[in-house]
Amino acid sequence: MKKLLASIAIILTALVACKQNQKQAARTFDGPAYLNAELPIDERVEDALSRMTTEEKVAILHAQSKFSSAGVPRLGIPELWHTDGPHGIRPEVLWDEWDQAGWTNDSCTAFPALINLAATWDRDLSRLYGRSIGEEARYREKDILLGPGINMGRTPLNGRTFEYMGEDPYLAGKLVVPYVQGVQSQNVAACVKHFAVNNQETRRTETNSIVDDRTLYEIYLPAFKAAVVEGGAWAIMGSYNLWNGTYNCHNDRLLNQILKGEWGFDGVVISDWGGCRDDDEAITGGLDIEMGTWTDGLRSAASNGYDLYHLANPYLERLRDGRASEDILNDKARRVLRTIFRTSMSPVQNFGSFTSPEHFAAARKIAAEGIVLLKNDGILPLRVSEGGKIVVVGENAYKMMVVGGGSSNLKTKYEIIPIDALKEAFAGKAEVIWERGYVGDVTTDYNRVVTGQKLEDPRSPAKLIADAVAAAKDADVVIFIGGLNKSEGQDNEGTDRKDILLPYGQEKVIEALAEANPRLVVVNISGSPVAMPWEGKARAIVQGWYGGSESGHALADVLTGAVNPSGKLPFTIPYSLADGPLKTERQYPGILEKGSDKWQEYYDEGIFIGYRWYDTKGIKPQYAFGHGLSYTDFTYSGAALDKSTMTEDGTIHVSVNVSNSGIYDGAEVVQLYISDPECSVERPAKELKGFEKVFIKVGETTTVGFDIKAEDLSYFDAAAHKWVAEKGEFKVLIGSASDDIRATLSFRLQ
């Protein structure tokens, strides 16, 4: 006992001494204030700024290499290192080139694509994702993670749908906040992209999106606002396109007035790579760091090509001859310094971790929780008797998917493919055979990241089908694993898809398999909606995604029932493209009008995208937004409001009981939609305004509660420039999907 007390006394004395030393250090710190980690960041920023020359201020506003922007070497202020983002830490590239630097220690954990995260509808998993990728970034000494992307799913053809969080601003807004906070907990700035109304890849740098204010504020801005105001994002990336006639990397209205003005954003605006287009607008339009500009200077300048950037020499010239003001320069420099002091010079130093078992486990969990069971007649989870035979058909059971897709391309330490995971899951129990079925895309490298797989197959399409059918005939179950991939024209940056059907003749393979063996399960792996006219041929349909390093395990977990599926669609899957809101060329992909060198794209559909369109127009989609089945059943009961009228500054509490009435433990996403049946303006039939993912054991019941506020009832009145909740009746729709409403309640706003 004596010994214990003595040890405690020693520890306490040491702690007190340590605290005193720290205080002493702060008081006696005799270096410059900007180096004093005890001081508030803005004091350090002001001190650093006061010591900088104009040239030094300009130098920190633009790239000094493909992925870094300068610091202030004279003052010992480090440069900022940027990295893609958003699914893992990009492999190192050469100083001035996109090409790989050839490092051998930069193979990361590949996390699932963001659309997969969105399909989890799980805020905690989003935080886990953010923190894990933040730790990887910090370990690799990156200060700015170029992600997450949260552009809205306006067209299912958008090549980057897989990098975003779906078609609903509320869902994306709720999921982006914990992601941003998770990343930034590691002193890595999340750079939320691409701001704004950047919803297609076709002619992405030459398209002028013409969008009215109501549509902008209700659909295209809310997730960004949430990232900034609730998530406290430290960086925003401007998008390539123009909005209402001005390029978005220096769009005064978007960046100065809305982002920095209305939302009080105090972080840094970074251009998309090559998105800065004009000397003067670059200065006045709200841009802070210019990256990736494709100046000729990069190749031909005698000295440093980066000096030719819009925010480099042209800016200096304007400052010297008085055309540009010191105030704007100081504001930009302050924002960059603030970013440096928040990240690499932060008083809290994290060291991160890379490819840890925890990161792979997080990747597997997120991947599995986002997989969506679209249809099931009971064939899943797989139950194969001892010595049974499972035939797996399809390229996506084998093809590695981490590589490809554009700037989100990753070099990962390993990638588990579905066929290997299924063999592992059934080892010693059943035989698992793979047949190709079709040849889709045989590229196995992207930007010099190589998978090492051999995908060429000399067989004709007919022979491939015949071989698959022969193998499938006597199988206990046939699992077709196909879909899209991350090559050009599929889920890929820089191009959009041409249609929403399965490519490479896969429909024929599915039909032939169904004829040979009716015990057919189809797994569609894609990052965007695929129409399924063959739906009736499959006994179960699973929507899988690009799940990253652990994608195969995650899929096998769901197919075997080790994980009970709980993902819900973050977008609508329509029967056909023609059913959707984009009917004309002027809506998509845009038209070239006389006298303009930009493609004009009119958002004539206004606020009606995704389920807002399908629901309001009464068009039945193939699978609705929010849809996703489970191996168990959930029963909803006792939905109630705590009052029948609400005042404008009050709240209404909604509660509902959800019971697991099936035979497996599982999670349900309870969704709350609001409908405003009487309104002076046209409104969507319903809009998502709440969701909770709850895990419920067999036979148990959970009560789920939501608070509704006036902001959940409002539309944006563009003329008055404010949100309006009109008095009268509102309906609260609670359900398991946007097309599976289990309870409807109503109240009045007074």
Bridge partners (DSSP) listed for residue 660: 634
In the bound state with ligand BGC, the residue whose beta carbon lies nearer, of 272 and 712, is: 272
Half-sphere exposure of 487 (CA within 13 A, CB side): 14
**Does 146 sit near ligand BGC (CB under 6 A)?**
yes
- Tell me the C-alpha distance between 102 and 105, whole Å: 9
Taking CB under 6 A as the rule, does residue 689 contact ligand BGC?
A: no
Find the Cα–Cα–Cα–Cα dihedral 450, 454, 460, 463, rounded to 10°. -130
**Structure tokens belonging to residue 394:** 């399809």
> In whole angstroms, how close is the CB of 83 to ligand BGC at the nearest point?
9
Of 193, 389, 399, 686, which lies in the binding site for ligand BGC, with binding defined by CB under 6 A?
A: 193
Euclidean distance between CA atoms 439 and 461, whole angstroms: 8
CB of 85 to ligand BGC, least distance (A): 6
Strands laid side by side in the 268-270 sheet: 68-69, 80-83, 144-145, 189-195, 235-238, 268-270
User: Measured between alpha carbons, how far is 146 from 463 in angstroms, rounded to an integer?
Assistant: 45
Size of the site for ligand BGC (CB under 6 A): 7
407 binds ligand BGC, rule: CB under 6 A? yes
Compute the least distance from the CB of residue 86 to ligand BGC, in Å: 8
Closest among 476, 483, 410 to 449, alpha carbons compared? 410
Site for ligand BGC contains 269 (CB under 6 A): no
Q: Inter-axis angle of helices 551-560 and 357-370, to 10 degrees? A: 50
Nearer to ligand BGC, 71 or 85 (CB): 85
Residue 82 CB, nearest approach to ligand BGC (Å): 8
Tokens matching residue 466: 């015949």
Contact predicate 546/527, CB 8 Å: yes
**Please, what is the minimum distance in Å from the beta carbon of residue 359 to ligand BGC?**
21
Vertex 502, ends 207 and 548: CA angle to 5°?
80
Place of tokens 């800065």: 276
Q: Does 272 bind ligand BGC (CB under 6 A)?
A: yes
Taking every pair of Cα atoms in the chain, the longest distance, rounded to a whole number of angstroms, is: 92
Which CB atom, from 227 or from 696, has the smaller least distance to ligand BGC? 227
> From the CB of 84, what's the least distance to ligand BGC, in Å?
5
Is 375 one of the binding residues for ligand BGC (CB under 6 A)? no
Q: What are phi and psi of 277, to 5 degrees?
A: -125, -5
Residue number with CB closer to ligand BGC (218 or 272): 272
Minimum CB distance to ligand BGC smaller for 195 or for 341: 195
Return d(Cα 178, Cα 189) in angstroms, integer.
Answer: 13
Gap between the Cα atoms of 159 and 200, Å rounded: 7
Catalytic residue status for 740: no
3-state secondary structure 428-450: CCEEEEEECCCCCCCCCEECCEE
Give me the least distance between CB of 287 and ligand BGC, in Å please.
15
Cα angle 450-455-461, degrees, rounded to a multiple of 5: 155
Both tokens of 540, joined, read 């179960």
Give every CB contact of residue 356 below 8 A, 6+ residues apart in sequence. Answer: 109, 135
In angstroms, what is the minimal distance from the CB of 444 to ligand BGC?
Answer: 21
Q: Of 272, 491, 676, 712, which is the active-site residue?
A: 272
Which stretches of 32-142 are assigned E, i.e. beta strand?
68-69, 80-83
Q: Name every residue whose Cβ is closer than 8 Å to that of residue 2 and which is 6 or more positions away in sequence.
A: none
* Choice between 146 and 704, CB closer to ligand BGC: 146
Binder among 58, 59, 64, 84 for ligand BGC (CB under 6 A): 84
Q: How far is the CB of 198 from ligand BGC (least distance, A)?
A: 9
Strand pairing partners for 80?
69
Cis peptide before 148 (omega within 30 of 0): yes
Which residues on adjacent β-strands are paired with residue 729?
A: 748
615 sits near ligand BGC (criterion: CB under 6 A) = no
Asked if residue 81 binds ligand BGC (CB under 6 A), the reply is no
Instruction: From 269, 118, 91, select the one nearest 195 (Cα to Cα).
Output: 269
Map residues 150-189 to x or -, x wherever contact with ligand BGC holds by CB under 6 A: ----------------------------------------
- CB nearer ligand BGC, residue 66 or residue 399: 66
**By CB under 6 A, is residue 273 in contact with ligand BGC?**
yes
- 201 lies in the binding site for ligand BGC (CB under 6 A): no
Instruction: Tell me how far, at minimum, the Cβ of 193 lies from ligand BGC, in Å.
Output: 5
Pairing, β 634-641 against β 651-660: antiparallel
Contact indicator for 165, 115 with CB cutoff of 8 Å: yes
Interaction of residue 446 with ligand BGC, rule CB under 6 A: no
Comparison of 85 and 222: residue with beta carbon closer to ligand BGC: 85
8 Å CB contact between 166 and 118: yes
Which CB, 85 or 285, lies closer to ligand BGC?
A: 85
Q: Nearer to ligand BGC by C-beta: 120 or 408?
A: 408
**What is the chain's length?**
750
Q: Is 396 in the site for ligand BGC (CB under 6 A)?
A: no
Q: Which DSSP symbol is given to 626?
A: T
Cβ distance to ligand BGC smaller for residue 164 or 354 = 164
* Residue from the set 71, 85, 482, 735 that interacts with ligand BGC by CB under 6 A: 85
Residues at the contact surface with ligand BGC, assessed by CB under 6 A? 84-85, 146, 193, 272-273, 407
Residues labelled catalytic:
272
